[in-house]
Structure 1
Amino acid sequence: MNYEEKLESMGYKLSAQANKRIFEDGVRIGNLIFISGNAAKVDGVLKYQGIVGDTVSMEEAQDAAKIAFVNCLATVRNMMGSLNSIKKIVNIKGYVASTPDFIEQPEVMNEVSAFALEVFGEVGRHSRVSLGASSLPGGTPVEVEIIVEVE
């Protein structure tokens, strides 16, 4: 089973549509691809909106983070033609829109780290950053960006 089939068997579909932004969805430099930040959009619609610790629960934030990660992977697939070209998930950055007293941003992103390992095995072992923010674009509770090494 390839990576995309594995994601689909877990209930995640990779979007084929490109984002309409004034910057690139991803930039390849040598064997590294830097993927721009993605929100938890499903079929182009934000699944969750709000602030973690206020209107968005931990479970919703974790789900949002996984969806945003999958959207990052969709960009890799759209650029490379297949997720099987991924040799390594190098880095994952997660931004969590949260209340000032919410300090569990790493717990939100732990869900993505575990998910990357579940899908990619050792290829999914990565470095990571988890940051809190007062708000994020469009009201998304979580934004994720990644760096991957490809063939």
Structure 2
Amino acid sequence: MSVDARLAELGITLPDVAAPVASYVPAVRSGSSVYTAGQLPFVGGSLPATGKVGEGDGLVSPEVAADLARTCALNALAAVRSVVGSLDDVARVVKVTGFVASDPSFTGQPGVVNGASTVLGEIFGDAGVHARSAVGVAVLPLDAPVEVELIVELVS
């Protein structure tokens, strides 16, 4: 099954590539790999939530943050597609790095980044199983709660 057919089956429409917010490109191909820039959870050009992730008033809940990480992963796939033309050229997702703007007491970064990992597995099956880092940070660009970057391997 093609990746586009799988996306349709899952009811997922990839967004347009998010415009860079600084001096970089969304993705770069090097040999048989594509490296994405960190992708924020832009939806229609804006962030649906901002702030730190944690439990309590004024914080982004871990559940909302996991959904935002999913959005980041879809934005990253759009960036991959922009440099390779078709996601059918992806042999496997090699590495996911997720950054979570965390309240100092929050230690659930892996659960947040699962939002990205889960959707990649749903889309690519076994080829979506990847190595991963989930890192808590003090702040992210534009006060985003989460940022995700991918490394994918392309078919030869």
Q: TM-score range by the shorter chain?
A: over 0.9
Match of 2:6?
Answer: 6
User: Taking structure 1 as reference, are residues 138 and 18 closer, same or farther at Cα in structure 2, changes over 3 Å only?
Assistant: closer
Q: Which has the higher strand share?
A: 1
Gaps of 5+ in 1: none
CA distance in 1, matches of 2:116, 2:48: 17
Q: Aligned AA for 2:38?
A: G
CA distance in 1, matches of 2:10, 2:46: 20
Please, what TM-score do these two structures have when normalized by structure 2?
0.90
Alignment of 1:44-63 (within 5 A): 44-53=45-54, 54-63=58-67
Q: Percent identity?
A: 38
User: Taking structure 1 as reference, are residues 8 and 41 closer, same or farther at Cα in structure 2, changes over 3 Å only?
Assistant: farther
Match of 1:35?
Answer: 36
Once superposed, what is the RMSD of the aligned Cα atoms?
Answer: 1.5
User: Taking structure 1 as reference, are residues 41 and 5 closer, same or farther at Cα in structure 2, changes over 3 Å only?
Assistant: farther
CA distance in 2, matches of 1:76, 1:132: 25
2:123 to 116, 119, 123: 119
Q: Aligned residues, how many?
A: 151
SS at match of 1:62: helix
Q: Aligned AA for 1:27?
A: V
Which runs of structure 1 show a deviation greater than 6 angstroms over 4 or more consecutive aligned residues?
Answer: none
Deviation at 1:98, TM superposition (A): 0.8
* Contact 2:17–2:75, Cα closer than 8 Å, also in 1: no
Gaps of 5+ in 2: none
CA distance in 1, matches of 2:82, 2:89: 11
* Contact 2:18–2:75, Cα closer than 8 Å, also in 1: no
Please, what TM-score do these two structures have when normalized by structure 1?
0.93
Deviation at 1:75, TM superposition (A): 0.6
Superimposed CA distance per residue, residues 40-89 of structure 1 (whole angstroms, 9 cap, x where no aligned partner):
11111112211101520111000000000000000111111111110010
Do structure 1's residue 26 and structure 2's residue 27 form an aligned pair?
A: yes
